[in-house]
C-alpha cells in the first residue's frame, strides 16, 4: 500500500519518513506525486486541520490502486499565553516571518513569567484518509518549558526555545533519533502506524 504524506513542510516530511522507517508501506510526499493542498485550514483543532489536509490530497489522487493519505497538523501550545500560538503556529506573526523572530517574540512575551509557569507542549495530530474513504486520527504530545534563549541548531521551527527539563536540552539540541523517539510527531505517527498495520495486516 502506498502512503502519500500530505505536507508542504520539508522538515516534517523528513521526520515522518524517519519515524515510519522501513515498513511494509511505500511512502511518498505530495510533491513526489505532483500534488499540493489548496484547502483552507479553518478547523478549530489540530485533528480537524489534519483531516482537512488529508481529505484535500486524497480527493486529488485518482489512481485505481488507491493510497492512504496521511497529514500532520501540529504546533506549540504555551500555557501562559492561553495556548498560543497553538493551531496558528505556522501563521503566527505571518508565514514568512523567520522562526528566529517568532521565537524572540515568544520569549519577550514571557519576560515576567517565572520558570514554573513557562510550561508548554508540542502537539501533533495525524489524520489518514484510506482509499475506501475511512478516516483515522491519532495524536501525540511532548511536554516541556519555554526557555530564555534559543538553543541548538537541529530540528526546525520552535525547537530552539522548547526546553526539556529532564534532559537539560532544547529539542533543537537533540539528535534526529533522540527527538523522534520522544516527540509529539514520533508518538502520533507510531500510534497511527499501529492502526494502519492492523488494518492492512502488515
Smallest distance, Å, CB 96 to ligand ITT?
12
157 binds ligand ITT (CB under 6 A): yes
* Cα distance between residue 196 and residue 77, in whole Å: 28
Binding flag, residue 74, ligand ITT (CB under 6 A): yes
Q: Tell me the H-state helices in the chain.
A: 10-20, 46-60, 99-109, 176-182, 184-200
By three-state DSSP, how is residue 114 classified? coil
Number of residues that bind ligand ITT (CB under 6 A): 20
Positive or negative, the Cα torsion across 163, 167, 169, 174? negative
Shortest reach from residue 201's CB to ligand ITT, in Å: 29
- List 26, 38, 65, 73, catalytic entry: 73
- Would you call 79 a catalytic residue per the annotation? no
Span from 21-29, 59-67, 73-81, 109-117 in contact with ligand ITT (CB under 6 A):
73-81
The one segment of 4-12, 18-26, 56-64, 190-198 that binds ligand ITT by CB under 6 A: 4-12
Nearer to ligand ITT, 74 or 187 (CB): 74
Bond into 80 cis (ω within 30): no
- Apex 183 CA angle, 113 and 128, nearest 5: 120
Residue 116 and residue 29: Cα distance in Å, rounded? 40
Q: Among residues 56, 47, 46, which one has the least CA distance to residue 137?
A: 47
Shortest separation between residue 179's beta carbon and ligand ITT, angstroms: 7
> What are the grid coordinates assigned to 106, written together?
515568544
Q: Is 1 in the site for ligand ITT (CB under 6 A)?
A: no
Give the residue numbers marked as catalytic. 73
Binding site residues, ligand ITT, CB under 6 A: 7-9, 12, 53, 72-76, 89-90, 122, 155-159, 183, 185
Amino acid at each position: 500500500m502506498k502512503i502519500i504524506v500530505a505536507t508542504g513542510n520539508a522538515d516534517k516530511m523528513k521526520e515522518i519518513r524517519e519515524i515510519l522507517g522501513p515498513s511494509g508501506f511505500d511512502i511518498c510526499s505530495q510533491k513526489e506525486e505532483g500534488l499540493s493542498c489548496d484547502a483552507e485550514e479553518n478547523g478549530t483543532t489540530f485533528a480537524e486541520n489534519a483531516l482537512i489536509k488529508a481529505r484535500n490530497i486524497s480527493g486529488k489522487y485518482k489512481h485505481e490502486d488507491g493510497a492512504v493519505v496521511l497529514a500532520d497538523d501540529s504546533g506549540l501550545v504555551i500555557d501562559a499565553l492561553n495556548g498560543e500560538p497553538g493551531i496558528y503556529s505556522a501563521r503566527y506573526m505571518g508565514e514568512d516571518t523567520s522562526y528566529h523572530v517568532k521565537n524572540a517574540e515568544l520569549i519577550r512575551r514571557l519576560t515576567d513569567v517565572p520558570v514554573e509557569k513557562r510550561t508548554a507542549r508540542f502537539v501533533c495530530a495525524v489524520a489518514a484518509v484510506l482509499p475506501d474513504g475511512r478516516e483515522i486520527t491519532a495524536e501525540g504530545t511532548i511536554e516541556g518549558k519555554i526557555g530564555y534563549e534559543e538553543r541548538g541548531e537541529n530540528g526546525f521551527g520552535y525547537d530552539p526555545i522548547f526546553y526539556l527539563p529532564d534532559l537539560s536540552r532544547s529539542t533543537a539540541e537533540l539528535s534526529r533519533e533522540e527527538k523522534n523517539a520522544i516527540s509529539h510527531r514520533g508518538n502520533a505517527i507510531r500510534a497511527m502506524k499501529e492502526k494502519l498495520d492492523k488494518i492492512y495486516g502488515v
